[in-house]
């Protein structure tokens, strides 16, 4: 079957045992349940499966109903969000380079079906928690890679990731090129075991950063593929905290894509192996966000308490680079975000305002995200003028620094703002959103 089916929709349909006519009927039934009408017929399904026609947004929403996929997954883009055949490579030294090559290849060819299923991601986290990494060995063939060369590669990586936020929006091709170079050294170089470990950690860090760049730009399937490769590299290096952090990135993305139950599963596995207090704090904080999205207040509260305790324990310690930015301001705002999801608007607003006010000036992108949360909290408490002011500032800032994820947060609030066209600040905000 796999060799004969070339489109994800056909694969998803055949996996269910449905004909094209069956699928068309199920789409019509889904439309009725929503109080809508659909003209789906077998011939239309055929056009979708041959790629001649792309289903419109309404049709994709009905397809999501039929295949029981969260609507948020549609952000992956058609046809990447469909339940598919793509599963992560099993962890191991032999799969590290293939995972890196696969990620790099998927960035070049957007036609590949690179989205992982939610079950596959949860399974990957379980595998990571259960499987101890095998020790790296020396590489005995190829061009010699010495400490001086690796130091240069590490300095270049640090320079790329320390650029001002306004410049980091242009980093995609540079990160991809750098990751490709490091992958070549891992694959074709001759090095000692310690040098090999540094190369694997470097590849993991670059792929993790590149994954966030793709995530911020709404390229979710590519982000997951990069984080998958980063996890392989981190696992091969034996850096458990780094691996846990990468899994927490995947979990955060799942919460963003409206699959918080998957995020909880991934984080439960990641937390078992995290060592550094800052790492445990960030994982617990993201777990709290997922529980809040699920409406699980008691579990959210426990996770927030664990995050705060771990952050206190980390005071004075040098944190891993991937979570060195975590501070009480982040804990305050994310706690507020949790309370907002749980319906505690007043306390949520206080925490979000407090955290935003204390955030260091250099963290511009984070500030724009926090301001978006602040705008939502004001909206929910009926202070529309203050909400408009916060949203205007967030949108202006996000557009300037190239932060599409924050822009998306603000645009999600626009239908609500449109209900208050005569309120101070709202017409200007709506105009800014329209022009942008």
Please write the tens of the pLDDT for every residue from 303-360. Answer: 999 999 999 999 878 999 999 999 999 999 999 999 999 999 999 999 999 999 888 8
Position 286 scores a pLDDT of 98
Flag whether pLDDT at 90 surpasses 90. Answer: no
323: left (phi over 0), alpha (psi -120 to 50) or beta: alpha
Q: Which residues contact 148 (CB under 8 A, 6 or more apart)?
A: none
Considering only CA atoms, which of 355, 354, 357, 425 is closest in space to residue 387? 425
Cβ atoms of residues 352 and 374 within 8 Å = yes
Residue 2, pLDDT > 80, answer no
pTM higher than the cut 0.85: no
Q: Find the angle CA(120)-CA(123)-CA(125) to the nearest 5 degrees.
A: 115
Nearest in space to 230 (alpha carbons), one of 215, 252, 245: 245
What is the per-residue burial (b if ≥16 Cβ within 10 Å, else e) of 215-239? bbbebbbbbbbbbbbbbbbbbbbbb
Which fold, 8-76?
434 Repressor (Amino-terminal Domain) (1.10.260)
Q: What span, in angstroms and rounded, lies between the C-alpha atoms of 248 and 227?
A: 10
pLDDT in tens, 215-258: 988 888 889 999 999 999 999 999 999 999 999 999 999 999 88
DSSP calls for 280-339: HHHHHHHHHHHHHHTT-HHHHHHHHHHHHHHHHHTTTSPPPGGGTT--HHHHHHHHHHHH
Pairwise CA distance, residues 69 & 16, whole Å: 14
| Mean pLDDT of all residues in 187-195 | 93
At 109 the three-state DSSP class reads: coil
Q: What is the mean pLDDT of the chain?
A: 89
- The answer to whether the beta carbons of residues 417 and 387 sit under 8 Å apart is yes
Q: Flag whether pLDDT at 364 surpasses 60.
A: yes
**Is the distance from CB of 168 to CB of 217 less than 8 angstroms?**
no
CA 299 vs. chain centroid, Å, equals 22
With contact defined as beta carbons under 8 Å apart, do 154 and 199 qualify? no
Res 315: pLDDT:
82
Report residue 256 as tokens: 């963003």
State the Cα–Cα distance between residues 7 and 52, nearest whole angstrom. Answer: 12
């Amino acid at each position: 079957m796999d060799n004969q089916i070339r489109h994800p929709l056909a694969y998803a349909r055949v996996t269910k045992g449905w004909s094209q006519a069956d699928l068309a009927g199920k789409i019509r039934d889904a439309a009725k349940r929503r109080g809508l009408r659909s003209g789906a017929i077998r011939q239309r399904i055929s056009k979708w499966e041959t790629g001649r026609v792309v289903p419109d947004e309404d049709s994709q929403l009905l397809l999501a109903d039929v295949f029981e996929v969260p609507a948020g997954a549609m952000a992956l883009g058609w046809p990447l969000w469909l339940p598919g055949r793509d599963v992560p490579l099993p962890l191991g030294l032999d799969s590290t380079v293939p995972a890196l090559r696969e990620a790099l290849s998927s960035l070049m060819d957007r036609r590949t079906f690179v989205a992982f299923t939610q079950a596959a991601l949860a399974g990957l986290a379980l595998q990571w928690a259960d499987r101890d990494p095998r020790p790296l060995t020396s590489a005995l063939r190829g061009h010699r890679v010495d400490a001086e060369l690796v130091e240069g590669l590490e300095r270049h990586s640090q320079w790329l990731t320390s650029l001002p936020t306004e410049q980091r929006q242009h980093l995609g091709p540079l990160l991809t090129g750098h990751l490709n170079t490091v992958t070549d050294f891992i694959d074709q170089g001759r090095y000692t075991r310690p040098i090999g470990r540094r190369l694997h950690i470097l590849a993991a860090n670059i792929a993790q950063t590149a994954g966030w760049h793709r995530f911020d730009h709404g390229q979710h399937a590519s982000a997951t593929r990069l984080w998958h490769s980063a996890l392989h590299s981190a696992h091969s290096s034996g850096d458990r905290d780094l691996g846990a952090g990468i899994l927490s990135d995947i979990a955060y993305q799942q919460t963003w894509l409206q699959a918080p139950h998957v995020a909880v599963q991934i984080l439960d596995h990641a937390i078992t192996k995290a060592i550094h207090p800052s790492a445990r704090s960030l994982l617990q904080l993201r777990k709290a966000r997922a529980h809040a999205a699920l409406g699980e207040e008691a579990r959210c509260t426990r996770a927030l308490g664990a995050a705060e305790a771990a952050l206190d324990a980390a005071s004075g310690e040098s944190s891993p680079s991937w979570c060195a930015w975590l501070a009480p301001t982040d804990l305050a705002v994310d706690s507020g975000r949790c309370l907002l999801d749980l319906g505690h608007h007043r306390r949520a607003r206080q925490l979000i305002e407090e955290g935003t006010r204390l955030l260091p000036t250099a963290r511009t992108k984070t500030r724009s995200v926090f301001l978006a949360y602040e705008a939502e909290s004001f909206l929910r408490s009926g202070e529309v003028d203050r909400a408009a002011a916060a949203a205007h500032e967030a949108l202006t800032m996000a557009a300037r620094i190239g932060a599409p994820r924050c822009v998306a947060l603000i645009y999600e609030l626009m239908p609500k703002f449109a209900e208050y066209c005569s309120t101070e600040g709202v017409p200007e905000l709506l105009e800014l959103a329209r022009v942008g």
